[in-house]
Every structure is written in structure tokens, then in C-alpha cells.
Chain A
Amino acid sequence: MDEKKNPDPWAIPDIGPETDEKKSESGADAFDATQWHEVKKGETLWKIAEQYYGDGSLYPKIFDANRDVLKDPNRINIGQKLRIP
């Protein structure tokens, strides 16, 4: 009998491949949607806010999201990685 043409009605369905949810167990957070920006020469929070939001005046949003690494919104360092909320 050709099993492909006449599948067993009792066949136990394949539970499927390893899911993405499982990947999160291996360490890296598979659901992390954080956007990061690495500060380049000549950049300011205003410019970064313009790049991501179109409006430089929204720079406090970036500053607030990075208070753990930024003490002063006017002082950011080249190579610093900032969260973009």
C-alpha cells in the first residue's frame, strides 16, 4: 500500500522542529527587540534623535533610556552603544 496516498488516519503528527522559543533557553534573548546605536565621530544626541525619530528635540527619550551610561546629554563618547527606545 502506498502510504503517501493513503496516510494513516491515526498517524501521530510531528511535533515540529525546535522552536524559536527554545532558542531563548540557549542564552541569547531571542525576543530582544532593542535597537542599538554606536556613537560615531561628530554625533550628538540631537543628531541621533533626528536619525531615528526625524525630530532632534526628542533626544531626551534617548537620554532617559541610557541613564545607566550617560550622566549628561551633552557628553557622549565615540563607540558608546546607546539604546534607541
Chain B
Amino acid sequence: MQRYVYSFVIMILAAALLAACGSGDKGPAETALKAAEEAINTAKGEASKYMPDQVKSLESALASTREKLGKGDYKAVLSEAPALTSKAQEIASAAAAKKAELTKSWEGLSSGMPRVVEAIKSRVDILSQSKKLPAGMSAETLAQAKAGLSEITQQWTAATEASKGGNLMDAVAKASSVKVKAAEVLTLLKMPVPEALKS
């Protein structure tokens, strides 16, 4: 009988010890989660614009870790939270690099494309005054070029507006579609396609 009592006491003590150890992890787990939350919140500002999918994954992982904290699974929190913190920092760095890249692209496009558009406009204006179109160019071709120029002008205005609004991703995407259309129109007009428009 006494043997059973001892075993019971030992089991109770072991359970209490385990509980004490577990609750001892609570504070560090909360601190680690808070650090992860702060890192994610800091990264989110720019990263949401340039890599929204990665931010979404990060937030979903944070929610899962937060849930584990609520359930008292402190060991899991202590293992996952630091990884979230470093992932948030990694994403913030990548977003900054992406922003720099897009800024550079936009600077190149915004200085180069207006000259291309101006060259197209000049040729369309001159051909519109012509009594007879050059060999190999039909009135339909010129009409297509005029429609293309109109589309280019609208898209370029939209790209500029997007850039002014701080949406570089959209600005560069729109400017890239202007590049493609401009190359088509230059070809219709039998004009040389600049290197920057060939890719």
C-alpha cells in the first residue's frame, strides 16, 4: 500500500515539475512572439506593396503561432517565433531591394519613353498630312498606328499617375505594356525599334 502511495506522490511531483517547467516558458514565449509581431509590422509597410504574397504567408504563420501561445504550447512558440522574426527581416530587405529595382526601372522608362512617344507622334502627324502614303503602307496601317498612339498616350498617362501615387509596381507594369505597344506601332510605321523596346 505504502509503495502505491509513494508512486502516486512521485507522479504528482513529476506532473507539478513539468507544469512548472512549461509555465516557465510562458514569459519567453510571449516575448518572442511580441518580437515577431513587431518585426512583421515593421516589414509590412513596404513589403505589402512589393511582395504581398510573402506578407500574407508570414501573417498566416504568425496567427498560427499566436494560437499555439493561447493553447499553452510555449515550446512551439519559442521554436517558431524567432524564425518568423528573421523571415520578416528577410522579406523587408527583399522588399527594399525590389523597391530600389522598380525605382531604377521607372527612372529609365520615364526618361526614355516620352521621347519614343514623341517620335511616333511626329511621324503620325507628318503621315497624316501626306497626300499619298509611302510604298508598303496602307491607309489601314496608318489608322492602326493612330489607334496605337492613342492607346500608348492613355497608358502612359496612367503609368505616370500610378508613379505619382506611389504605386511603382503598377507604374512599371503599365509602362512595360506601353513599351510593347510602342514597338508594334514603330514597326507599323517602318521606324527603327529602339533597343530598350526589343525585350
Q: Are A and B bound to each other?
A: yes
Q: Provided the pairs A15-B97, A33-B115, A85-B126 are in contact, do residues A20 and B134 lie with their beta carbons within 8 angstroms?
A: no
Q: Would you call A21 and B196 a contact (CB within 8 A)? A: yes
Q: Does A23 sit at the interface, judged by CB under 8 A? A: yes
Chain B residues near A57 (CB, 8 Å)? 131
A35 to B134, CA, bound (A): 15
What does the 1/0 interface line of B21-45 toward A look like (CB < 8 Å)? 0000000000000000000000000
A61 to B130, CA, bound (A): 11
Chain B residues near A16 (CB, 8 Å)? 101
When C-beta atoms are compared, the residue in chain A nearest to B109 turns out to be A21
Q: Does A78 sit at the interface, judged by CB under 8 A? A: no
Q: List residues of A (34-69) whose CB comes within 8 Å of B's CBs.
A: 34-35, 50-55, 57-58, 61
Q: List residues of B (108-135) whose CB comes within 8 Å of A's CBs.
A: 108-109, 111-113, 115-116, 119-120, 122-123, 126-127, 129-135
Specify the main secondary structure of chain A where it touches its partner: loop
A52 to B136, CA, bound (A): 10
Q: Would you call B130 and A20 a contact (CB within 8 A)? A: no
A25 to B87, CA, bound (A): 34
Q: Would you call A58 and B119 a contact (CB within 8 A)? A: no
Q: Provided the pairs A10-B87, A15-B101 are in contact, do residues A20 and B51 lie with their beta carbons within 8 angstroms?
A: no
Q: Does A19 sit at the interface, judged by CB under 8 A? A: yes
Chain B residues near A61 (CB, 8 Å)? 126
Chain B residues near A55 (CB, 8 Å)? 129-132
A13 to B52, CA, bound (A): 11
Q: Would you call A54 and B87 a contact (CB within 8 A)? A: no
Q: Provided the pairs A9-B54, A30-B112, A54-B137 are in contact, do residues A35 and B192 lie with their beta carbons within 8 angstroms?
A: yes
When C-beta atoms are compared, the residue in chain B nearest to A55 turns out to be B130
* Extra pairs beyond A51-B134, A52-B190, A58-B126 (11, CB < 8 Å): A9-B54, A16-B101, A21-B112, A29-B112, A31-B111, A33-B120, A33-B193, A34-B192, A35-B191, A53-B127, A53-B130
- Chain A residues within 8 Å of B, Cβ to Cβ: 9-13, 15-16, 19-25, 28-35, 50-55, 57-58, 61, 85
